[in-house]
Amino acid sequence: MATEYNGYITTESIAGADDGPLGGKTVAVKDNISTEGVRTTCGSAMLDDYVPPYDATVVERLKAAGATIPGKTNMDEFGMGTTTETSAYGPTENPAAPGHVPGGSSGGSAAVVAAGDADMALGTDTGGSIRCPAAFCGVVGIKPTYGLVSRYGLVAYANSLEQIGPIAPSVEEAAELLDVIAGPDDHDATTRDNDGATEGLADAADGDVDGLSIGVPTELVEGADEAVVETFWDAIDELEAQGASYHEVDLPSVEHAVEAYYVIAMSEASSNLARFDGVRYGQSGGYEGNWNESFANAREQGFGEEVKRRVLLGTYALSAGYHDKYYKKAQDARAWVKQDFDAALADADVLASPTMPVPPMEMGESLADPLTMYLADANTTPVNLANLPAISVPAGETDDGLPVGLQLVGPAFGEKQLIRAGSALA
Amino acid sequence: MSDGETDDDADDATGADGSDAAAADGGAAAVDPEEVRHVADLARIDLDDDEVERFTERFADVLAYFETLEEVPEVESEADLTNVMRPDEVRDSLSQDEALANAPETEDGYFKGPKVS
């Protein structure tokens, strides 16, 4: 069933097992996650008619758990965007804030959940692509610890940063979905067995924050929009009223997180997207001229502007003479961010900030200026650099009625802490 | 920007000598159209003239922002890495038909590609 806000790219329904923990539930799937026999476009014209011959591990697990997949959701092309406006299939409108973007890149997934057209959804988060749309659409999103969820069958954008995770109306439902998809997979050597620390996640959604110690990184609050900051502190007050306490912490490294993130993500993208040459899949570049000309033609036709921009910048950052200046420094920044988070989490159970420094942008507002769009990822990208888990829960609305999300960050494989704390609010 | 500078920048991106490129640059992040064309060539993406113009303009902003990484100190990191091994055994895989199903063109059970020359 198509939606008037353009939440789905494909609405072919996929049936799951007769029963299971997700029996009777619909779980929409982002269109960069492979579904056997159902086309998977990644929001790109390049893959307009690509039909995967196998299921991603998370899709196998959804089906085995009894979920029905109602369709494949709209997204920024190959996950490259913060607004779902770079999709080759048109932008998605935010059902919770008409006229505004739903966030991105998993904007379709958050939108169908916010509109009630799916019970839950899967998104992917490389630099905030689950948490941003969850915040903008007023729903819950979890970016799991790197290695908790298999990426087998996820079309790669930036392997070292991305995770598949749940989007749902409540923390408990998000945790139920994460319970189903989490756990080691032979097909993804980066998944980890963590001694049961992340089993029974939904049981942790008891809302008990009595004695919870919250660190608030000043760097992630100071730069945010006034209306966002106000809503953020209201949510912290509410957690305090339920028995939590907060203290401010410093994370000086996060001032460099966005540039480090984009250098690393674009560099990995320039390598990952080399596979789209129009020979094994994708749109052929024809058979005139030599293979370089043919590939370059296929990629000119098949990729949108933002994808080209990131592949070119990534190629530039890795090219001889620039590697040490950009990529190597970005890896230093990544290690620094990780150390800062580890230190802050030694004195706090969770770290809290606004998920996004701004409320949802108006549609069409940010596309013209890529750098402004990148800077909106200031609070989410550090978490991917540090490989940590984070949750975005609805914190309230601005005076203009725009949703604001609260982000909580925990230690590696500390999803239960995040679910417990987040469930006190949603 | 003078023609002379244009040539220098293009040489940097060609990248014979890494240290020179990073040092000579001294924080100036400007790129010229030739450099954009060169990188597009490396990335195997054709660009039309309008795209070259737009990318040249935008790259300056983004690269200037990337330059701030200069302020990041060197950080000792001990990555927590373990090799993940598995026995080298034959497993089920896609059939030839399945593997070829998404190819724009195939011939005699093979992918059909452009000329390699």
All domains in chain A, ordered by first residue: 8-253+334-422 (3.90.1300.10)
- The answer to whether residues A123 and A165 touch, using CB atoms and an 8 Å cutoff, is yes
Closest residue to B43, CB basis, from A53, A54, A270: A270
Q: Compare all CA atoms of chain B with the CA of A332 and give the residue at the minimum distance.
A: B75
ipTM of the complex: 0.90
CB contact B77 to A (< 8 Å): yes
- The answer to whether residues A109 and A44 touch, using CB atoms and an 8 Å cutoff, is no
pTM above 0.95, yes or no: no
CA distances B66 to A139, A146, B4, B28, B30, Å, are 33, 25, 25, 11, 12
Q: What is the pLDDT of residue B21?
A: 40
Q: Do B116 and A291 touch (CB under 8 A)?
A: yes
Mean pLDDT of B97-115: 94
Nearest CA to CA, how far is B3 from chain A (Å)?
21
Q: Given pLDDT bands bounded at 50, 70 and 90, which one contains residue B12?
A: very low
- The answer to whether residues A359 and A228 touch, using CB atoms and an 8 Å cutoff, is yes
CB contact B60 to A (< 8 Å): no
Q: Do A319 and B115 touch (CB under 8 A)?
A: no
- 10-residue mean pLDDT profile of chain A (426 residues): values are 91 97 98 98 97 98 98 98 98 98 98 98 98 98 98 98 98 98 95 88 97 98 96 98 98 97 98 96 89 94 96 95 93 97 98 98 87 93 98 97 98 97 97
Touching B: A residues 189-208, CB under 8 Å: 189-190
CB contact B46 to A (< 8 Å): yes
Nearest to A362 by CA among A107, A138, A99, A158: A99
